[in-house]
Amino acid sequence: MTTVGIVANPASGRDIRRLVAGASVFDNAEKGNMVFRLMVGLAAVGVERVLMMPAASGLFDGLDRNRRANAASERKQDLPKLELVEMKIRHGARDTAYAVGEMCERGVSAIVVLGGDGTNRVVARHCDPDIPLSTLSTGTNNTFPKMQEATVAGLATGLVATGRVGDAAVRREKILYVTIDGEPDRDCALVEVALNSERFVGARALWRAADISEIVASSASPEAVGLSSIAGLLDPVDRSTPHGLYVRLAPPGEADTVLTVPLAPGLIAPVGVVESRRVEPGESVELEPKVGSLALDGEREIEIGSHNEVKVRLEPNGPLTINVGEVMHEVARRGLMNGVP
pLDDT in tens, 292-327: 999 999 899 999 999 999 999 999 999 999 999 999
**Residue 329: CB partners within 8 Å, gap ≥ 6?**
none
**Residue 67 covered by a domain:** yes
**Residue 297 covered by a domain:** yes
CATH number of the domain residue 160 falls in: 3.40.1280
Question: What is the chain's mean pLDDT, rounded?
Answer: 91
CATH number of the domain residue 195 falls in: 2.60.200
Burial 60-92 (b: 16+ CB within 10 A, else e): bebbeebbeebeeeeeebebbebeebeeeeeee
pLDDT in tens, 325-338: 999 999 999 998 88
Whether residue 325 is found in the same domain as residue 280: no
Burial 184-207 (b: 16+ CB within 10 A, else e): eebbbbbbbbbbbebeeeeebbbb
pLDDT band with cut points at 50, 70 and 90 for residue 19: low
| Residue 233 pLDDT exceeds 90 | yes
pLDDT of res. 243: 97
Q: Determine the average pLDDT of the residues in 115-136.
A: 94
Question: Judging by DSSP bridges, how do beta strands 267-279 and 292-296 pair with one another?
Answer: unpaired
**Residue 162 covered by a domain:** yes
**Residue 341 covered by a domain:** no
Whether residue 197 is found in the same domain as residue 154: no
Whether residue 328 is found in the same domain as residue 300: no
- Please give the residue range of the domain that contains residue 19: 3-173+319-334
Neighbours of 237 (CB within 10 A): 22
pLDDT of res. 112: 97
Whether residue 198 is found in the same domain as residue 69: no
pLDDT of res. 207: 81
Whether residue 22 is found in the same domain as residue 161: yes
| Residue 204 pLDDT exceeds 90 | no
Whether residue 30 is found in the same domain as residue 159: yes
| Residue 200 pLDDT exceeds 90 | no
Whether residue 292 is found in the same domain as residue 324: no
Q: Determine the average pLDDT of the residues in 3-15.
A: 83
Whether residue 299 is found in the same domain as residue 327: no
Whether residue 120 is found in the same domain as residue 146: yes
Of the two residues 58 and 9, the one the predictor is more confident about is: 9
pLDDT band with cut points at 50, 70 and 90 for residue 40: very high
**Residue 140 covered by a domain:** yes
pLDDT in tens, 68-114: 999 998 889 999 999 999 998 888 889 999 999 999 999 999 999 99
Of the two residues 4 and 143, the one the predictor is more confident about is: 4
Whether residue 85 is found in the same domain as residue 128: yes
**Residue 339 covered by a domain:** no
Tell me, what amino acid is at 120?
N
Decide if 109 contacts 130 (C-beta within 8 A): no
Closest-CA residue to 302 (of 292, 312, 311): 292
**Residue 340 covered by a domain:** no
pLDDT in tens, 137-192: 887 667 889 889 999 999 999 999 999 997 778 999 999 999 999 998 899 999 99
Whether residue 183 is found in the same domain as residue 311: yes
pLDDT of res. 28: 82
Whether residue 296 is found in the same domain as residue 187: yes
pLDDT band with cut points at 50, 70 and 90 for residue 264: confident
Decide if 150 contacts 136 (C-beta within 8 A): yes
pLDDT band with cut points at 50, 70 and 90 for residue 13: low
Decide if 234 contacts 227 (C-beta within 8 A): no
pLDDT band with cut points at 50, 70 and 90 for residue 232: very high
Number of domains in the chain: 2
Measured CA angle at 204 (ends 313, 8), to 5 deg: 85
pLDDT of res. 124: 96
**Residue 328 covered by a domain:** yes
What percentage of the chain reaches a pLDDT higher than 90?
Answer: 68
